[in-house]
A and B are shown apart, each in its own frame.
Chain A
Amino acid sequence: MNKTQKGALAVLVITAVFLIFSATIPFAWFSDVPVLRILPLAFLALACVVMGLSIIFFIKKQSCCEVGFDERDITIKRKAIFASYIALWVLICIACIVPSAILGEEGSIKVVFLPIIIFGVFLFSMLVYSIAILIQYGWGGKDGQG
């Protein structure tokens, strides 16, 4: 695995944990069960641990002859950035147009939803970026390995 793949895998894992963390928040918000109320905190702690492990995984070389970074990797990275950029636009358009479709022309939303929208869009675009990289390397298959 080269640096790009390791980075993409680390981002994918961190993003997945953060998405699960985000999904647990409504449960904690509306539930009276004590276990469910501490669920987001547990996932936040897990996200921090996973983030630390991912950074170590990203920095630490697997072997002395770990693959370098060549022209093909640059092309893969560029394509992933394109995919992420397109996904970003699709998501932000959906996030800005869906509320008016649901609530009507005179509707309004709480201001607290604005940072949540941005956080969600950021997580999904990172997810698309990592998946695009891993798909192009064949999910770390033979072609992508050193």
Chain B
Amino acid sequence: MNRLQKRAWVNLIMMAIMFVYVAIRFFVLADGLKEVESGFAGLLTYLFVAGLCVLQPLLSRKKDQVHFDERDRLINYRAILGTYTAFWLLILPAFLFPWFVLGSDDLVSVHVLRILLAAIAIILLLVYSILILVQYDWGGKDNE
């Protein structure tokens, strides 16, 4: 497995953890636990970001690295191009839909902008990781 595949797997695993947590938050936790849980939400978000920041450079270390050639660069480029396209497909409805629904004079909280940004970033990371893994056939024999 080369560094692109490793990064993609780390992204997917971290996101899976986040999604499981969100599912637990919405469907399992009782109302009495809300306060404890809201502090835990912040902690988990920081852990998620810290995990991504720490694990990505560790995976890019030179030693024990499978050779990174022209084909890998092409795969990375295609994944980025796909993510770029997905960015516009996501951001256009996300920013234009409120304008069509609420009208020009309505107000929107500044929190909404940050939430939109975070949601789009997470979805694009997911798209990028899946595109990388799909092109490598999910780490099949050809890439070993």
Give the interface of A toward B (CB within 8 A).
78, 81-82, 84-85, 88, 92-93, 95-97, 99-100, 103-112, 114-115, 117-118
Report Cα–Cα, A99/B77, bound state, in Å: 33
Interface of chain B, main secondary structure: helix
Q: Which of A81, A104, A105, A110 contacts B84 (CB 8 A)?
A: A81
Q: Which residue of B lies closest to A79 (CB)?
A: B77
Report Cα–Cα, A99/B108, bound state, in Å: 11
Q: Within 8 Å CB of B111, what residues of A?
A: 100, 105
Interchain nearest-CB distance for B95 vs A (Å): 4
Contact A96 B116 (CB under 8 A): yes
Report Cα–Cα, A91/B15, bound state, in Å: 25
Interchain nearest-CB distance for A115 vs B (Å): 5
Interchain nearest-CB distance for A47 vs B (Å): 21
Q: What is the count of residue pairs linking A and B with beta-carbon distances less than 8 angstroms?
A: 75
Contact A115 B110 (CB under 8 A): no
Which among A82, A103, A110 has the greatest number of chain B C-beta atoms within 10 A?
A: A110
Q: Which of B81, B96, B109 contacts A114 (CB 8 A)?
A: B96
Q: Within 8 Å CB of B113, what residues of A?
A: 95-97, 99-100, 109
| Given A85-B84, A96-B117, CB of A109 within 8 Å of CB of B95 | no
Give the interface of B toward A (CB within 8 A).
77, 80-81, 83-84, 87, 91-92, 95-96, 98-99, 102-111, 113-114, 116-117
Contact B95 A115 (CB under 8 A): yes
Q: Which residue of A lies closest to B104 (CB)?
A: A112
Contact B80 A85 (CB under 8 A): yes
Report Cα–Cα, A114/B103, bound state, in Å: 11
Report Cα–Cα, A96/B77, bound state, in Å: 27
Contact A78 B77 (CB under 8 A): yes
Report Cα–Cα, A93/B124, bound state, in Å: 14
Interchain nearest-CB distance for A123 vs B (Å): 14
Interchain nearest-CB distance for A4 vs B (Å): 16
Contact B110 A118 (CB under 8 A): no
